[in-house]
Amino acid sequence: MKLKGKVAMVTGAGQGIGKATALKFAQEGAAIVVCDLNDDAVQQTVAACEETGVEALGFSLNVTDRAALDQMVAGAVARFGGIDVLVNNAGITRDARLEKMSADEFDSVIDVNLKGVFNVAQSVIHTMVAQGSGVILNASSVVGIYGNFGQTNYAAAKFGVIGFTKTWARELGPKGIRVNAVAPGFIETSMLSSVPDNVLTKMCEQVPLKRLGRPEEIASIYAFLASDDASYVNGAVIEATGGLTL
């Protein structure tokens, strides 16, 4: 088990890639701190992690709430003694073309997908610096590299996350902390649940592998980056798109 003895905090872990990542880390032996806005989903992920034989702790909160984040970190450190890995996965979409996007739609995505990443990282960083070790993994997106029609807010946030990643890798590397990002392509999650079948078919046709990605496939990349197998990987952005951008 690659993560045995580690403590991993995963935001947005109630569903999709976040839940798959929490479960993968648990299977690899890590104790898990589950964070999500939906309390029922938090408890379900905690139970699923505990079924693998590891300890898990759940928190229902919004990553825009700095005070709640600080309380979560304090609770996790009190329970487990430290935090070795942070997966900054929480995110939302509020899509619209530029001329129709409201200020609320723009602000809500920036607040969660960009400021939220900053909030959680800053909440845990003092613990990691004191330990002299740690891994921060940020969720970007293929949209954060190439942009996408109708996603001004989402693209801005995910481009920004890459900027965070490269900056923090420089700042924190000397302190023994690695920072990397993953940029998924089209993945089978609830974010695609409202997409019509004919559009999903066209999306698959754009991918050389001719299918959507699975949350578990992204979780495996996070698990690698969190492990000692990736001990010299720092400041990287790993694209996982099935070849979409070729």
Residue 132: inside a domain: yes
Residue 166 lies in a domain: yes
Q: How many domains does the chain have?
A: 1
Structural domain includes residue 1: no
> Whole-angstrom Cα distance, residue 144 to residue 192?
17
pLDDT for position 246? 87
Our answer to whether residue 154 is catalytic in this structure is yes
Helix, strand, coil shares of the chain as percentages rounded to 5? 50, 15, 35
Residue 97 lies in domain: 7-240
pTM: 0.96
Q: State how far the Cα of 125 lies from the Cα of 175, in Å rounded to an integer.
A: 11
| Confidence at residue 189, expressed as pLDDT on a 0 to 100 scale | 86
Is the CB of residue 90 less than 8 Å from the CB of residue 73? no
Mean pLDDT taken over the chain: 96
Q: Is residue 30 in some structural domain?
A: yes
Classify residue 5 by burial, with Cβ atoms within 10 Å: 0-12, 13-18, 19+: exposed
In a domain, 245, yes or no: no
Q: In what order do the strands lie in the sheet with 177-184?
A: 56-60, 31-36, 7-11, 85-88, 134-139, 177-184, 237-240
Q: What is the pLDDT of residue 84?
A: 98
Distance CA 22, CA 9 (A): 8
Q: Is residue 49 part of a domain?
A: yes
**Beta pairing partners, 171:** none
User: How do residues 89-111 score in pLDDT, each as one tens digit?
Assistant: 999 999 999 999 999 999 999 99
Say if residues 18 and 78 touch (Cβ distance below 8 Å): no
Residues of the chain with pLDDT under 50: none
146, 154, 222, 232: which is the annotated catalytic residue?
Answer: 154
CATH number at residue 13: 3.40.50.720
Determine the straight-line distance between the first and last CA of the chain, rounded to whole angstroms.
34
Asked if residue 149 belongs to a domain, the reply is yes
Q: What is the pLDDT of residue 194?
A: 67
The verdict on residue 50 lying in a domain is yes
Residue with token string 């001329």 = 99
